[in-house]
């Protein structure tokens, strides 16, 4: 009898250990956004904290649209980055003023903004760079073309993100569908590529190659590659979802929590549609006094894109949204 009890207890402990191991692989996801007020419409957001402690957001819209906040909660629209237009981008947009997926950061006492020019479903695309001392509308200076793709490139030059690695080297990740997410080294003095060599970071062999919106962050000994899977831009019917993988090197390989390489479709699910939060995706991450902050867009039930903001903590080297 004692033997059977011992065997039963041992089996239960083994089952619990296995269950805990499985549970550890399941991300805590689908947390509701934190409080956001004011002008809450946004799409493909990026946020930078200014040296003075306020916040600037930029997002997809006519000539790149911008917002400001003093507290990270209440936001107000402040207009276009290029109120007089961005004529240098029109060869890639078929004349449309709509510019996509900006990336804001602050280095060398000035703001850098990488952004995309393209048209929906096309890989004739380009990423441009602008700089500003204040980061506010109508103060941005065009620094020209960074990288472009054609209909025969096999990749798509949109959705840029600048990462400065632990050694101070600059890199730009980018990409959408086609052959996936790419990385190119940059010259820190110019913000332009220092080499034409591209490194592939993530690819979906199935699902139509639906991976885009890369954003690389660094925390302790790991780099984290955040991406969006599936379909954006369909309002409440959007199936966008946020995924992540990590690497000890900025140029990969990146693997998810289950050990699957992101070049083989890997990516730990961090947030997907739930309740009245539809198609969360195209996230950015910045560091604030209370930790790393996740910013993204999602769609309300009526199909209007909204700003989502949450904090990130780390558990055994993996990000947890809360």
Establish whether 44 is a catalytic residue. yes
Q: What is the C-alpha to C-alpha distance for residues 272 and 34, in angstroms, rounded to an integer? A: 16
Q: What is the C-alpha to C-alpha distance for residues 101 and 103, in angstroms, rounded to an integer? A: 7
In the set 44, 159, 230, 256, the catalytic residue is 44
- Candidates 231, 178, 239; CA nearest to 209 is 178
In the set 103, 159, 212, 256, the catalytic residue is 212
Peptide bond into 253 cis (omega under 30): yes
Given a contact cutoff of 8 angstroms between Cβ atoms, the answer to whether 85 and 121 are in contact is: no
Distance of CA 158 to the CA centre of its chain: 12
Q: What is the C-alpha to C-alpha distance for residues 24 and 179, in angstroms, rounded to an integer? A: 31
Q: What is the C-alpha to C-alpha distance for residues 140 and 112, in angstroms, rounded to an integer? A: 9
Establish whether 148 is a catalytic residue. no
Active site residues: 44, 212
């Amino acid at each position: 009898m004692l033997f059977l009890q011992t065997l039963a207890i041992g089996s239960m402990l083994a089952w619990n250990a296995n269950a805990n191991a499985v549970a550890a692989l399941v991300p805590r996801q689908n947390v509701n956004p934190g409080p956001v007020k004011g002008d809450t419409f946004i799409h493909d957001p990026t946020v930078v904290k200014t040296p003075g402690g306020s916040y600037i957001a930029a997002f997809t819209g006519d000539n790149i649209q911008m917002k400001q906040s003093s507290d990270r909660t209440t936001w107000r629209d402040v207009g276009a980055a290029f109120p007089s237009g961005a004529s240098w981008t029109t060869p890639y947009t078929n004349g449309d003023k709509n510019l996509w997926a900006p990336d804001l950061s602050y280095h060398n006492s000035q703001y850098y903004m990488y952004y995309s020019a393209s048209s929906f479903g096309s890989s004739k695309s380009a990423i441009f760079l602008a700089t500003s001392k204040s980061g506010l509308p109508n103060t941005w200076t065009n620094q020209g073309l960074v990288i472009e793709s054609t209909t025969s490139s096999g990749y798509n030059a949109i959705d840029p993100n600048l990462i400065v690695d632990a050694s101070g080297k600059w890199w730009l990740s980018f990409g959408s569908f086609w052959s996936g997410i790419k990385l190119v080294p940059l010259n820190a003095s110019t913000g332009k590529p220092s080499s034409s060599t591209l490194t592939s970071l993530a690819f979906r062999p199935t699902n139509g190659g639906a991976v885009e919106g890369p954003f690389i962050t660094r925390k302790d000994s790991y780099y984290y590659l955040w991406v969006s899977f599936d379909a954006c831009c369909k309002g409440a019917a959007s199936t966008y979802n946020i995924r992540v993988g990590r690497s000890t090197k900025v140029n990969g390989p990146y693997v998810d929590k289950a050990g699957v390489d992101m070049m083989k479709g890997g990516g730990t699910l961090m947030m997907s549609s739930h309740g009245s939060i539809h198609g969360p995706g195209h996230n950015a991450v910045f560091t604030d006094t209370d930790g790393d902050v996740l910013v993204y867009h999602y769609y309300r039930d009526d199909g209007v894109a909204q700003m989502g903001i949450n904090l990130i903590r780390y558990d055994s080297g993996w990000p947890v949204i809360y």
